[in-house]
Structure 1
């Protein structure tokens, strides 16, 4: 029962962290989760956390690394493979040696082998923390690719080095030649095992699919089973389970093959399942880290035989050694690496030194380090207590906190996000978002919905084309300001028409009700997008938003009441939904004409640029032409409503792509806000993209 309660508390903490991270965006989610874990560990009703390192590795680290390897940009990884392996192997060994000898020198009571074990445990960087660093810091694709590649490969080198150092501490014997040989076997063997299993998995899944035996349930269950099978199988034959998971994740491609609606639906469900599982496991890892840190450090902190000042000083010295070694190693790699175009080594400029600093602080330590430290045995071969076990765990925990804090607060300083995004850059990102949305919509296309989805894909293709032509032409901020002004003009026209209809009722009561309902629907649609796209977030803006939502609710309530009353009394014909739709589109065409006239007036003024007016005028002309070209709107109302349903779905996909890119560190927070505003602007007009 205690285990079940613990699982519930951890899940609750993970959910809470997702909300808190939105209110404190300057603090990375892993730090928030660690703090929540520390708080949870102090609550009396939360059971004590005990970590089984081997279970932790297979249950959490294996699936997370598999997913990270599978989703990583393979082309970028290949480009930066040498640097990534240099950091993953060379730097890990150098850190092990440097930390070991420095710690043994400043605190001789710590045996050299035990100090080397600590250095080996501090080699691996945390893949989860690395993937979250790009949200507040502006990392280049190359920097992010190197850091992610390093985090995939350095776990194996750190684990193997740690195991040999611990063996030397237990027996008092350390064979360098044997250690190097076994390391090579473990590293190469793990990679080969992962490649073989990955190829078999590709063949098996594609064969099952070709025979029509694949179902969503079996596919997802088999895919979830794969990383655990890889890790346990590799460890059983004596090679690196971590590296086998990484190698297979890089090779697996069965979810990229196959066509048809069933395959597309299965891939969509699989992506959703892995997304939820990834966030849950990531959060659980850091919550557990926070829950374990207080107990791990308490024994040494309360030991009267050891000065707390000595412990804190040792943490700072070890952290300094780790950071200094990483900075020197990265700087040397940048200096020695030849330019891809000229083939010559480049001098260290200010920008390259800054890049070295980014790569240094972008390698925080995390759960792998602490889980390794917990595997230190309590006794040595002679039966005596393992020397300084609690103190080594204390130092490791302190260094983890220091590196995470430095990564969180120094990276945004060293690589700050731009206050305003370059127009070309944001347009290029927008094109990538639209391209991914088109790919997602294409996967959802079936013979039954092709007629409704193809116009949407065509509209996205046209948006991509316009963005490509627009790159470098004018400031997007000015264009967005004009778009918002155009929506205000639409709102003014619809509000005026609604007021005129109420003040001067039409002769036909049915026409009167249809006119009012159509105006109110269109007005709600415009106001909804305006609320999403406004930049201000002061108290007056919040009051305006609340009042707007209340007015929309009031209008909707009046519409429903009017329909119910007419149905009960039967004193007037009920408004047909198709007829209301036709009336709404007619008003929309008139509103577009009104905006077009205003745009022509603005082109003669100096408030907005001619380029922005011309571009927006072209968009409104396309929308008007598309609406007027429909031969029989009444008979096609059902198809048009289906198109609009899928169009709203496409906007949801677009917003999801933006969120995924932000969470993966591909775009900044400012860029994600700008992209979301663009989506809400596009959604204001049901036919704006046609």
Structure 2
């Protein structure tokens, strides 16, 4: 029962941290979780925490490393592989030796093997902690790739070194030659084991899929089971389970093969499950750190043989050794690196020194370090307690907190996020959201909703194309202004046509009613497009009046139409014109409006009001739209399909909001960017709910 209470408390703290981190974006989520862990530890019903080291390694490290290896950008990793491996292996070993000897020298009570174990545990960095720093810092793509690659590989090297150091501390015997042979065997054996299992897993999953036996439930459960199978299987073969997990994570690709809505739906569910699991496991580790800190501090604080000032000084010293070693190593690697064009070594300029500092503080310690320290056994051979176990965990915890604080507050100063054009920065993020929405809609296609869903997907595809054009334009604002002006030309054309229809007393009443209805709907579509264009471009308040007028006119027209239909039913007269007739006439009116706009654009090309290239590009767009409208047959049920498409569109806005929330929780976007994205979606959602 106590274990269940502990699990529930940890889960509650993780959930609470996900809410709190949204309101304090400048403080990293791990720091929030550590603070919550300290607070939860003071609750009277929290039981004493004693973790089984091996169980902790399997439950936390194996799935986290598998996910990290599987999700890393393979192409970016290859480009920075040399520097990443240098940091992951060379720097990890150097840090292990430097911290070990420095700690043993400064505090002889700590055995050298135990001090080396601490140094090995402080080798791995936590890229997840950096990504959750509120996105206040602006790291280059190369810097991010180096840090992620380092975090992946030095997890394995640090863990292997830690395990050998702990073995030496427990047995009291350490033979360099034998340890080297065991290290090589464990390294190569673990890698080969992971590759073999990955190949088998790819084959099994693809075979199951080809036979039509794959379901979302079985696929996700089997995928979650895989890292545990890898780790336990490798350990049974006396090779490195960690390296097996990493090798398999880099090789497995069954989730990236296969096409179709079922595969897309399964991949989306799998990604969501892994996202929740990753956040929960990372959060649980830091919550546990906070819970264990008071006991570790209390045991050391009350020990009359250990000076509290010494403990704090040791933490500062170890933190300094880690940072200095890291800065010197990165600076040296940047200095000896050769230019890809000239082949010469480049001098250390101010920017290169700053880059070294950014990558130094961009590698804080976190989940893996703490997880390794938890695996220190309570006793060594002979049954005696492991020397200085609580103190070592306390030192590691202090270093984690200090490096997280330094990364949290120094990175924004070293790499400030100078974003000149917020709207331009939002465009690629918006494209990612729209693409993810299209993928989700594709997975929801059924024979019943195929046509309306494809209509909505087509609208998303066009919107993505427009946004991509804005990225490539030298003057995207100029092209956008021309697009908005063209919409106003369409509006003027339809309004003039509507005035002519209403003024023509000789026209048949039914035909006149059909024309008026088509014009009204066309105007609604144009006003809707103008509102969305203004939203995407953060338009100035000059269009606000027209937007408000459009909404009022829309409400007035729909009220009038409802009144007409009601009176028609009361009088039992012939109903109003059919929706299919209105749809066909509206489409013809669209063709006429497009021809009018093309004529205006060709006329503007002879003037200096707008850029000629912009006019030419927009003419191509309108001609393409004209061709699509003319090629569509006048199918029965078109109006019904449009109504169904409106329902799908409302559903798609909910999907967009969910994707934005996922990106915010994953640290892919800032809170300000999430607010801007939500604001745009809310505007379009209101339009859809209003029937606009």
Q: TM-score range by the shorter chain?
A: 0.7 to 0.9
Paired residue secondary structure (2:85): helix
Q: 1:69 to 1:9 in 2, by over 3 A?
A: same
**How far 1:204 sits from its partner (Å)?**
1.1
Aligned partners of 1:264 and 1:444 also within 8 Å: no
**How far 1:629 sits from its partner (Å)?**
6.9
**How far 1:107 sits from its partner (Å)?**
2.4
Aligned partners of 2:234 and 2:244 also within 8 Å: yes
Q: 1:262 to 1:462 in 2, by over 3 A?
A: closer
Cα distance in 2 for partners of 1:496, 1:313 equals 82
Cα distance in 2 for partners of 1:684, 1:604 equals 40
Match of 1:390 in 2: 390
**How far 1:225 sits from its partner (Å)?**
1.0
Match of 2:241 in 1: 241
Q: 1:462 to 1:523 in 2, by over 3 A?
A: closer
Match of 1:370 in 2: 370
**How far 1:403 sits from its partner (Å)?**
0.9
**How far 1:319 sits from its partner (Å)?**
0.5
Q: 1:519 to 1:658 in 2, by over 3 A?
A: same
Cα distance in 2 for partners of 1:663, 1:527 equals 32
**How far 1:248 sits from its partner (Å)?**
0.6
Gaps of 5+ in 1: 499-506
What do residues 115-138 of structure 1 show as CA deviations (whole Å, max 9, x unaligned)?
A: 212111111112432444583322
Q: 1:13 to 1:229 in 2, by over 3 A?
A: same
Q: 1:403 to 1:594 in 2, by over 3 A?
A: farther
Q: 1:443 to 1:302 in 2, by over 3 A?
A: same
Cα distance in 2 for partners of 1:685, 1:582 equals 23
Match of 2:169 in 1: 169
Aligned partners of 2:57 and 2:375 also within 8 Å: no
The answer to which of 235-244 and 452-461 deviates more is 452-461
Cα distance in 2 for partners of 1:427, 1:154 equals 35
What do residues 30-67 of structure 1 show as CA deviations (whole Å, max 9, x unaligned)?
A: 32232232222233344454433322221222222212
Match of 2:70 in 1: 70
Cα distance in 1 for partners of 2:283, 2:341 equals 42
Aligned partners of 1:137 and 1:668 also within 8 Å: no
TM-score in terms of structure 2 length? 0.79
The answer to which of 388-397 and 629-638 deviates more is 629-638
**How far 1:94 sits from its partner (Å)?**
0.8
Aligned partners of 1:135 and 1:662 also within 8 Å: no
The answer to which of 567-576 and 163-172 deviates more is 567-576
Q: 1:492 to 1:118 in 2, by over 3 A?
A: farther
Match of 1:43 in 2: 43
The answer to which of 355-364 and 575-584 deviates more is 575-584
Match of 1:501 in 2: none
**How far 1:453 sits from its partner (Å)?**
5.6
Aligned partners of 2:29 and 2:133 also within 8 Å: no
**How far 1:406 sits from its partner (Å)?**
1.4
Match of 2:98 in 1: 98
**How far 1:476 sits from its partner (Å)?**
4.0
Cα distance in 1 for partners of 2:272, 2:319 equals 38
Aligned partners of 1:437 and 1:653 also within 8 Å: yes
Match of 2:290 in 1: 290
Q: 1:379 to 1:470 in 2, by over 3 A?
A: closer
**How far 1:147 sits from its partner (Å)?**
1.6
Match of 2:57 in 1: 57
Aligned partners of 2:117 and 2:165 also within 8 Å: yes
Aligned partners of 2:25 and 2:134 also within 8 Å: no
Cα distance in 2 for partners of 1:226, 1:556 equals 60
The answer to which of 275-284 and 516-525 deviates more is 516-525
CA RMSD of aligned residues (A): 5.2
Map residues 74-89 of structure 1 onto 2, 5 A cutoff: 74-89=74-89
Cα distance in 1 for partners of 2:35, 2:181 equals 41
Match of 2:506 in 1: none
Cα distance in 2 for partners of 1:449, 1:11 equals 39
Cα distance in 2 for partners of 1:448, 1:612 equals 41
Match of 1:160 in 2: 160
2:634 aligned to 628, 632, 635, which one?
Answer: 632
Aligned partners of 1:84 and 1:147 also within 8 Å: yes
**How far 1:110 sits from its partner (Å)?**
2.5
**How far 1:373 sits from its partner (Å)?**
2.1
TM-score in terms of structure 1 length? 0.79
**How far 1:570 sits from its partner (Å)?**
8.0
What do residues 538-591 of structure 1 show as CA deviations (whole Å, max 9, x unaligned)?
A: xx9xxx9xx99x999999998999899889978886997768878998999999
**Which structure has the bigger radius of gyration?**
2
Cα distance in 2 for partners of 1:234, 1:482 equals 63
Aligned partners of 1:336 and 1:345 also within 8 Å: yes
**How far 1:223 sits from its partner (Å)?**
1.3
What do residues 421-448 of structure 1 show as CA deviations (whole Å, max 9, x unaligned)?
A: 4998766666666666666666666777
Paired residue secondary structure (1:135): coil
Q: How many residues align?
A: 682
Aligned partners of 1:579 and 1:634 also within 8 Å: no
Aligned partners of 1:289 and 1:367 also within 8 Å: no
What do residues 117-170 of structure 1 show as CA deviations (whole Å, max 9, x unaligned)?
A: 211111111243244458332222222222222222222222222233233334
Gaps of 5+ in 2: 499-508
